[in-house]
Amino acid sequence: MDYQRARASYDKLASSARLRRYRKNWLKVIDAFRRVYLKYPDNKEIAPRALFMMGRCYVELYGYSRRLSDIQEAIERYQVLVEKYPLSRLADDALYQMGQIYKMTGRPSSAIKAWKRILKDYPNGSHARLARHRLEALGIRFSKEKKKKVNNTQIKPKKKASNHKKKKKIAIIKDLKYWSDKDYTRVVVYSTGPVSIRKGIIPANKKKHLPKRFYLDLYPAYKKIGLPEYFRIHNGLLRSVRIAQFAPKTVRVVFDLEKTEKTKVFYLREPFRIVTDAFGAHYSKKTCLVRPSKSGKKYGKVKLSGKKLSLAQQLGLCVKTIVIDPGHGGKDPGARGPSGLKEKDVVLKIAKKLAKILKKELKCKVIMTRKSDRYLPLTQRTAIANSYKADLFISIHANAAPTRRLRGIETYYLNFALDEDAMRVAARENATSEKRIGELKSILNDILKNSKVNESSRLARKVQESIIYTLKRRYKNIRNLGVKQAPFFVLIGARMPSILVETSFISNPQEERRLRSPAYQEALARGIARGIEKYIEETQLAFKN
């Protein structure tokens, strides 16, 4: 049996003073028990035993290594055992060991909680007496509440209201990824489910050579077994990111800051993830103010026009860098047409044509989030745009609907959806349900306060008008579905005007044939490029001499 073989390996290690001195031997045994646990996660006898032995091995390894990370690994194994297998005969054993570890590492309050839980949940367990003795040694007496009686009639506890909140499910913090540049870093923490987020600042400590730190407490949550505790970044903004089980049901993510000027935190769903953006002092500074006109002349001193101007117009900002985002890719094919055309393939071709036109005609720096058939998380696409300090972000997609009759072109910007069709499109592009999309309100309320909603709306109008004009000159039955707003994940967190273009319905047989055509792809690209050019010209011409 697998567990017996793993246990035999442990017994051999425990009986040899020579073998016990080497860390690799302990990790080998721990890995053997881990394989048992992963093989039998639903076996309520074997799985708890494997977890308990993993915790025990880490505790014994700590005796040699004195690494706090080893002791934390032990705690995590015991926590998983208790929460996942509460009816196991080893659950109270695990709680007792957790209390011992907490006391040993200077966390008496956590130790008390662990031992009290034994007496509350496992009063007849094998460790109840030991837990009571530990509490009494700390001057704490724990006794069960006596049931009150009046006139020999037992008073029953009041029933909880039927509308009481359900106990929040404990999530597992399973991964951490980051993307970094000189003045910008995005860190994404992935969770198996929703968590509450508490933010805080820890001042620098010069005596201990510790930098200023920013932290997020995520709860109720456990850190995944095997997830590294330390991520070295050291890019001038962040030294590193550390993640650990701070309390029994709280995971703390600590950001060691260097020259970070500002941080921004928000969360996304499906999968649930917490996004932290860190910005340097020079992130928002621009190196140019105006773009040459086609005649080669620069617009000199500015003069206000009669109509109300946008903020970008008032500042006369240029467009120097454009990020083009071909939707989907890799394992995410997007929508499929009746004859099998994949959205990820056609939007990549359109994006490449658009990039070529923008470089040649607008002399802009163009960055593509992907140049080949590869998968990119939605949060990474926006991070790429932010890291390049892009002036515009253009995400390209092909629409789809349950009925093949629907056709047309529409352009979106980030905001709350105002109709069911917009909600449907956002749900498909976000790969989530409409119910989940509705929950974005709490996120967007904060994000939209500082986002480029007005500029994105203006950019969307120019691009939509230009695409329709360009296509109608060459093709019949071009339907203008207009400019709409919806909560697209790919646009959340962008620090520049951002739009998502639904080029045509790939689910419509005629439009699928057109999307397959290089000439139609070229026309779409030219329409988008011309719309971008008009947006730039309108921004700058407001200040012509």
Q: Write out pLDDT tens, residues 36-83.
A: 988 888 888 999 999 999 999 999 998 888 888 888 889 988 988 988
CATH for 321-539?
A: 3.40.630.40
Burial class (CB in 10 A: 0-12, 13-18, 19+), 13: middle
Q: At 491, is the pLDDT very low, low, confident or very high (cuts 50, 70, 90)?
A: confident
Q: Is 162 exposed, middle or buried (0-12, 13-18, 19+ CB in 10 A)?
A: exposed
User: What are 199's strand-pairing partners?
Assistant: 216
Alpha-carbon distance 82 to 248, whole Å? 11
Whether the per-residue pLDDT at 327 is higher than 80: the answer is yes
Tell me the β-bridge partners of 524.
Answer: none
Instruction: Say how far apart CA 198 and CA 316 lie, in whole Å.
Output: 39
More confident residue, 543 or 106: 106
Q: For the chain, what percent of residues have pLDDT higher than 90?
A: 42
Query: Any idea where the domains of the chain sit in the sequence?
Result: 2-145, 171-280, 321-539
DSSP 358: I
* 503-521 average pLDDT score: 97
Q: Which two tokens stand for residue 514?
A: 């057109």
Provide the sign of the torsion angle of the four alpha carbons 350, 352, 355, 356, taken in this order: negative
The answer for residues whose C-beta is within 8 angstroms of residue 308's C-beta and 6 or more apart is none
Lowest mean pLDDT among 135-139, 140-144, 229-233, 329-333: 140-144
Confidence of residue 17 (pLDDT cuts 50, 70, 90): confident
pLDDT at position 289 = 37
Q: For residue 360, give every residue at least 6 positions away whose Cβ sits within 8 Å of its Cβ, in sequence order, or none.
A: none
User: What per-residue confidence (pLDDT) applies to 38?
Assistant: 84
| pLDDT of the residue at 396 | 97
Q: What share of the chain is helix, strand, coil (3-state, %, to 5)?
A: 40, 20, 35
User: Computed from CA positions of residues 281, 284, 287, 289, in that sequence, does the dihedral angle turn out positive or negative?
Assistant: negative
| % residues pLDDT > 70 (the chain) | 81
| pLDDT computed for residue 544 by the predictor | 41
Q: Which residue has the higher pLDDT, 194 or 422?
A: 194
Tens digit of each residue's pLDDT (9 = 90 or more) over 517-538: 999 999 999 999 999 999 988 8
- Exposure b/e, 452-490, CB count within 10 A at least 16 = b: bbebbbbbbbbbbbbbbebbeeeeeebbebebbbbbbbb
Q: Rounded to an integer, what distance in angstroms lies between the CA atom of residue 13 and that of residue 451?
A: 59
Q: Would you say residue 161 has pLDDT above 60?
A: no
CATH architecture of 2-145: Alpha Horseshoe (1.25)
Residue 142 is predicted with a pLDDT of 64
Pairing of strands 171-180, 250-257: unpaired
Task: Please report the pLDDT score of residue 242 as a whole number.
Answer: 93
Start-to-end CA distance of the chain, whole Å, equals 85
pLDDT the model gives residue 160: 46
Closest CA to 383 of 241, 185, 231: 185
What contacts 57, CB < 8 A, 6 or more positions away? 10, 26, 29, 30, 33
Where does the pLDDT of residue 428 fall: very low under 50, low under 70, confident under 90, or very high at 90 and above? Answer: low
Q: What is the pLDDT of residue 537?
A: 83
pLDDT at 444: 53
- For 74-99, what is the mean pLDDT? 90
Write down the CATH number for the domain with range 171-280: 2.60.40.3500
Task: Kindly state the average pLDDT of the residues 502-508.
Answer: 96
> Does the pLDDT at position 447 exceed 60?
no
Report the chain's mean pLDDT, rounded to a whole number. Answer: 82
Segment 136-164 shows an average pLDDT of 52
3-state secondary structure 124-173: CCCCHHHHHHHHHHCCCCCCCCCCCEECCEECCCCCCCCCCCCCCCCEEE
Residue 338, pLDDT > 80, answer yes
If one compares 170 and 303, the residue with the highest pLDDT of the two is: 170
The confidence band for 416, taking pLDDT boundaries of 50, 70 and 90, is: low
Between the alpha carbon of residue 270 and those of residues 190, 429, 436, 440, the distances in Å are: 10, 12, 8, 11
Highest mean pLDDT among 189-203, 308-322, 427-441, 445-459: 189-203
Question: What is the value of pTM for the model shown?
Answer: 0.56
Query: Cβ–Cβ contacts within 10 Å for residue 373, how many?
Result: 15
Looking at residue 249, its pLDDT comes to: 87
User: How many Cα neighbours within 13 Å face the side chain of 40?
Assistant: 16
In this structure, of 345-354, 372-381, 450-459, the range with the lowest mean pLDDT score is 450-459
Tokens for 305? 């026009």
Return d(Cα 383, Cα 364) in angstroms, integer: 20
Sign of CA dihedral 437, 438, 439, 441: positive
CA pseudo-torsion sign 437, 441, 442, 443: positive
> What is the pLDDT, as a whole number, of residue 387?
86
* Average of per-residue pLDDT across 502-518: 96
Strand-pair partners of 280: 260
CB 352 within 8 A of CB 529: no
Residue-level pLDDT at 168: 61
Top mean-pLDDT range of 179-188, 255-264, 396-405: 396-405
Band of the pLDDT at 190, cuts 50, 70, 90? very high
- Report the pLDDT averaged over residues 424-453: 53
Q: Which residues neighbour 281 within 8 Å (Cβ) at sequence distance 6 or greater?
A: 183, 259, 261
Q: For position 451, what pLDDT does the model report?
A: 54
Residue 368 to residue 364: CA distance in whole angstroms? 13
